[in-house]
Every structure is written in structure tokens, then in C-alpha cells.
């Protein structure tokens, strides 16, 4: 991208949808929350969290299909939002109390990676500037370069820590092009949006990246928790350490969740499955805690690929990652208002 910090408003407005729409399939909102539009800023006035779809998988290196993730995550539930819908354990109604709205999918054509990422970045900046938290439904992990940077453009480059759940580090130098799901974390650090020493990765495992990439990560002072460490020390201990580091000299946190951090036995619908991951229960507990214990400024859920799913279990996990995180945010917000 030739200019990562500034984007002409006319360029963005020309590509924003007048009304929310889902690019692949019928249009409906996340669990039936109210519609809003980025072209109508007043529709975001009372929202503290805004759902955006990022139907993009041109950056995949193995199995495509994550472009259908936003629609699947929106639909994966058996109860639509209508009135009070409490979290059983926490007693809060995240969708209602946060005034959650859905602005539909960002226009991200598969043959225009740079243009789609620009639009997504600006959409996240616009939501942040409206005083809300962008909640982005991916899409492959390429999109995090745009989502996290869009949030940082509003809150300040270097002022946002990033907590990243994934089987893979996604810090590669190149995958045959500038945009790919194995490169966004390196590009975020190089852009200056996220500091390497406030970049926390949880759940890494498998047989990549290779030593030169790990050396680069160490030079950036990144902190990553491989599954072997998570098993030995416990997820709670690792997460406590990550949260403490994320809160030091930063104004808030961006959360990025790749569903392949979960063992493929519990999340088969993803593009690059890696055995031996977290359980779905562990992930949900972790993201709820992040919502409760950090100043969460934005989040994305990526790599849900419905063509490889079974009985929608991966899409449902993505749906619950959003709900659990927002439930934690609601608890924190309510405590601050007392």
C-alpha cells in the first residue's frame, strides 16, 4: 500500500455499501442485531461494538474457503437476538448492553487484494473513530494487517498491543506476493502500527516457521507461547503474563483469533489445520478473560472455512468467540460505570 496512514475519503465512500449486505449469499446480520451503515455515521452513535464482514481468502496458501466465513459465523446459532439474551454465567447481555450493530461485509474482491485491504482498514478506523470496537469476521488471516492497523490509525501507532491466538506465527517474509495469510504479523510490525515487544502469540505449534523467521521474531522482541509451554505452565499462567505485558505502556489491546489454534478435532473447518491445539473450552475461557481484563479496542476472528466444516461446529466456535469476548467486555464496562 503506497500510503498506509492516509486514505482519500472519496475512495472509501465510493466502495461503501449504502445498506448492509453479505457478499456471498443472502443478507442478514449477526444473530439478528440491528443493521447500520458506514455511510450513515449516525447509525453508529449508540454502538459500542460494530460487526463487519471481511469475505477474503485470496491470501490462503493451502485450502481456500474462508471468504464464506463471515456468513457462516453470522448464521451459526439457534437463537436470534431479540430483547434480553443473558450470558448464563456472567448475567450480562452483550449484544443489547453494548448496542451491537452490523454494517455488513466490506467490499473485498478476490482479485483486488490491496484495494480490499485498504477499504477494510479504513472501515476499522472509521468504527474506532466513532467510539466503537470493530469486530471483524474473516476471511483468512491476511485481513489482520488491515484490521489491527485500522484500529491503530485511530488510537495511535505503537499504542495498541496485539494478542494473537494461532497455530502459526504468520510472520513470514513472503508467500509469492505482498499479501498472504502467512505474512500479516511481520507487515504489521514493519508498518509501525504494532510494536514487536507488545506482540503476544499463543498456541503456536507444528513445523513452521523456520529458524531465520524465528530469529527475526526474537529480534523484534515478540513473545510467543508454543503449545508445549502452554501445556507445561497452563494456559492461565501464560495468559496472565501476556495480559500484563500487553497493558504495559499501551492504551489497549487488539485481539486476533485464528480458529486453527483449536485442535482440528474440535475445529475442522479451517484452511491449515494443525493437530494438538487448544480445546474450544480453553479458547472461549481465554477470550472472555481478555474482554474482562484488558481495554479491548478491536478484534477479528479468522480462517473459518465452511467447505471443510462438519455440522457447523467451527462456525459455531467463531460465533461463540465473538459472544464470549463481548460478554467479557460488557462485564468490564459495567464495573467501570459503578
- What pLDDT is recorded for position 15? 47
Residue 14 has pLDDT above 60, yes or no: no
Supply the pTM of this predicted model.
Answer: 0.92
- pLDDT tens digits, residue range 238-254? 999 999 999 999 999 99
In CATH, what is the architecture of 9-337?
A: 3-Layer(aba) Sandwich (3.40)
Per-chain mean pLDDT for the chain:
91
The predicted pLDDT at position 82 comes to 64
What confidence category does residue 178 fall into, taking pLDDT thresholds of 50, 70 and 90? Answer: low
> Is 184 in contact with 300 (CB distance < 8 Å)?
no
Most confident of 22-36, 72-86, 152-166: 152-166
Handedness of CA 334, 165, 276, 219 (dihedral sign): negative
Residues near 74 by beta carbon (within 8 Å), at least 6 away in sequence: 22, 28, 29, 30, 31, 51, 53, 102, 137, 319
- Could you tell me which residue, 112 or 123, shows the higher pLDDT? 123
Domain extents in the chain: 9-337
- Kindly report, residue by residue over 274-289, the tens digit of the pLDDT: 999 999 999 999 999 9
Amino acid at each position: 500500500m503506497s500510503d498506509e496512514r492516509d486514505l482519500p475519503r472519496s475512495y472509501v465512500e465510493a466502495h461503501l455499501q449504502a445498506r448492509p449486505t453479505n457478499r456471498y449469499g443472502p443478507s442478514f446480520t449477526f444473530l439478528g442485531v440491528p443493521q447500520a451503515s458506514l455511510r450513515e455515521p449516525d447509525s453508529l452513535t449508540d454502538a459500542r461494538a460494530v460487526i463487519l464482514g471481511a469475505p477474503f481468502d485470496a491470501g490462503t496458501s493451502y485450502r481456500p474457503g474462508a471468504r464464506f466465513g463471515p456468513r457462516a459465523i453470522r448464521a451459526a446459532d439457534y437463537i436470534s437476538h431479540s430483547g434480553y439474551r443473558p450470558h448464563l454465567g456472567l448475567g450480562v447481555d452483550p449484544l443489547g448492553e453494548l448496542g451491537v450493530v452490523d454494517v455488513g461485509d466490506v467490499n473485498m474482491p478476490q482479485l483486488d487484494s490491496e484495494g480490499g485491504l485498504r477499504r477494510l482498514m479504513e472501515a476499522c478506523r472509521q468504527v474506532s473513530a466513532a467510539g466503537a470496537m470493530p469486530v471483524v469476521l474473516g476471511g483468512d488471516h491476511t485481513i489482520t494487517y488491515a484490521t489491527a492497523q485500522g484500529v491503530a490509525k485511530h488510537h495511535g501507532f505503537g499504542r495498541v498491543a496485539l494478542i494473537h491466538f494461532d497455530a502459526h506465527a504468520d510472520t513470514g517474509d513472503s508467500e509469492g506476493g505482498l499479501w498472504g495469510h502467512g505474512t500479516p504479523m511481520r507487515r504489521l510490525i514493519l508498518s509501525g502500527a504494532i510494536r514487536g515487544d507488545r506482540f503476544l502469540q499463543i498456541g503456536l505449534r507444528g513445523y513452521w516457521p523456520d529458524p531465520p523467521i524465528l530469529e527475526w521474531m526474537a529480534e523484534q522482541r515478540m513473545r510467543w507461547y508454543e503449545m508445549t509451554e502452554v501445556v507445561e505452565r497452563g494456559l492461565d499462567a501464560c495468559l496472565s503474563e501476556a495480559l500484563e505485558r500487553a497493558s504495559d505502556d499501551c492504551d489497549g489491546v487488539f485481539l486476533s483469533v485464528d480458529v486453527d489454534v483449536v485442535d482440528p478435532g474440535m475445529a475442522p473447518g479451517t484452511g491449515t489445520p494443525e493437530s494438538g491445539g487448544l480445546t474450544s473450552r480453553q479458547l472461549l475461557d481465554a477470550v472472555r478473560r481478555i474482554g474482562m481484563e484488558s481495554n479491548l479496542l478491536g478484534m477479528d476472528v479468522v480462517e473459518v472455512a465452511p467447505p471443510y466444516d462438519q455440522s457447523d461446529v467451527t462456525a459455531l466456535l467463531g460465533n461463540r468467540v465473538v459472544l464470549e469476548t463481548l460478554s467479557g467486555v460488557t462485564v468490564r464496562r459495567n464495573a467501570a460505570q459503578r
